[in-house]
């Protein structure tokens, strides 16, 4: 293998190992301006897209321990990787694909599990990880808030029933 190809393969391996997920998309028919716009949107979601050479990407995936891609690489492909959660990147890809009708999801991997295009689209419909965390914290906080309100009402009811206490002290 030529030196340039070895360098590219190592770069692909580093990207795959540095990301908890990747999404393979076919970008056939997208103009340069569209790819630039997609890159900007993905950057906001803490993700990036790189056009790959299929044969070298297959070697890199095998070297990174992703597993055999079984000839599923064909056409003009790019790979989306990121540092955060997959749902944010998948949401950008889904919305962009719907907007320009050119970007097609081929497959993806999350924690070395292969994902079908339908699974990636389902992940795109999930709220972001930050929103899910906020909802979970809200659920944990709700019982404490309700307990505090109950205690306040119980104290007020007890005071109202106490015959020794004057009405003015209740105010």
Per-residue model confidence as pLDDT tens digits over 44-70: 989 999 998 888 888 888 888 876 676
Given this model, what pLDDT does residue 144 score? 65
Q: What is the tens place of the pLDDT at every residue in 102-153? A: 889 999 898 878 889 999 998 888 877 777 788 778 777 766 666 667 677 6
pTM over 0.75: no
Torsion angle of C-alpha atoms 33, 42, 8, 107, degrees rounded to 10:
-100
Given this model, what pLDDT does residue 129 score? 72
The arithmetic mean of pLDDT across residues 12-30, rounded, is 90
Q: Using an 8 Å Cβ cutoff, are 52 and 7 in contact?
A: no
Percent of the chain scored above 70 by pLDDT? 81
Q: 116, 14, 4: which is closest to 64 by C-alpha?
A: 14
């Amino acid at each position: 293998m030529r030196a340039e190809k070895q360098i590219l393969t190592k770069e692909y391996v580093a990207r795959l190992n540095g990301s908890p997920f990747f999404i393979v998309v076919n970008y056939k028919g997208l103009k340069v301006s569209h790819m630039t716009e997609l890159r900007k949107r993905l950057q906001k979601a803490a993700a990036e897209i790189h056009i790959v050479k299929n044969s070298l990407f297959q070697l890199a995936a095998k070297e990174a321990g992703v597993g055999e891609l079984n000839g599923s690489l064909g056409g003009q492909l790019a790979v989306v990787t990121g540092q955060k959660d997959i749902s944010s990147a998948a949401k950008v890809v889904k919305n962009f694909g719907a907007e320009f009708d050119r970007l097609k999801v081929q497959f993806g991997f999350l924690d070395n599990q292969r994902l079908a295009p339908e699974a990636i689209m389902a992940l795109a419909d999930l709220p972001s990880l930050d929103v899910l965390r906020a909802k979970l914290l809200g659920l944990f906080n709700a019982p404490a808030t309700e307990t505090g309100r109950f205690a306040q009402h119980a104290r007020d009811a007890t005071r109202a029933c106490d015959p020794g206490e004057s009405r003015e002290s209740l105010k």
